[in-house]
Structure 1
Amino acid sequence: MMNVASLSKHICGLEEKLLTPEVRTSPQQLGLLLADEFVEYGSSGRVWHKKDLMGEEGAGMVELTLSEFALHPLSEDAVLATYKTLNAKNGGYTLRSSIWRCRDGLWQMLFHQGTPAAVQE
Structure 2
Amino acid sequence: MQHLLLKEQILYLEKQLMTYDYNELNEHLADDFFEYGSSGNIFDNNAQLDAVRDDRTVTNSIKYTVTEFNIKLLASDVVLATYRSLRHNDSKLVLRSSVWKNIQGKWQMIFHQGTPTK
Letter in 2 for 1:98: S
Q: Which residue of 1 aligns with 2:110?
A: 110
Letter in 2 for 1:43: S
Task: Calculate the aligned-residue CA RMSD, in Å.
Answer: 1.6
What are the equivalent positions in structure 2 for 1:30-45 lying under 5 Å apart? 30-45=25-40
In the TM superposition, residue 65 of structure 1 has moved relative to its aligned partner by 1.3
Could you tell me the percent identity over the aligned residues?
A: 39
Q: Is 1:8–1:70's contact at 8 Å kept on the other side of the alignment?
A: yes
**Residues 58 and 8 of structure 1, relative CA distance in 2, 3 Å threshold:** farther
In the TM superposition, residue 87 of structure 1 has moved relative to its aligned partner by 1.2
Query: Which runs of 5 or more structure 2 residues have no equivalent in the other structure?
Result: none
The number of aligned residues is 113
Please point out which of 43, 63, 78 is paired with 1:48: 43
Q: Which residue of 2 aligns with 1:87?
A: 87
With 51-60 and 73-82 compared, the bigger mean Cα shift is at: 51-60
Larger helix fraction of residues: 2
TM-score by length of 2: 0.88
Q: Is 1:78–1:99's contact at 8 Å kept on the other side of the alignment?
A: yes
Query: Which runs of 5 or more structure 1 residues have no equivalent in the other structure?
Result: none
Cα distance in 1 for residues equivalent to 2:90 and 2:115:
15
Q: Is 2:17–2:24's contact at 8 Å kept on the other side of the alignment?
A: no
Cα distance in 1 for residues equivalent to 2:105 and 2:13:
14
Q: Is 1:53–1:59's contact at 8 Å kept on the other side of the alignment?
A: no
Letter in 2 for 1:11: I
Letter in 2 for 1:10: Q
Q: Per-residue CA shift, 1:28-83, capped at 9, x if unaligned?
A: 32110100000000011000000102221386413221111000100000000000
Cα distance in 1 for residues equivalent to 2:56 and 2:25:
7
TM-score by length of 1: 0.86
Structure 1 stretches of 4+ moved >3 Å: none
In the TM superposition, residue 25 of structure 1 has moved relative to its aligned partner by 3.4
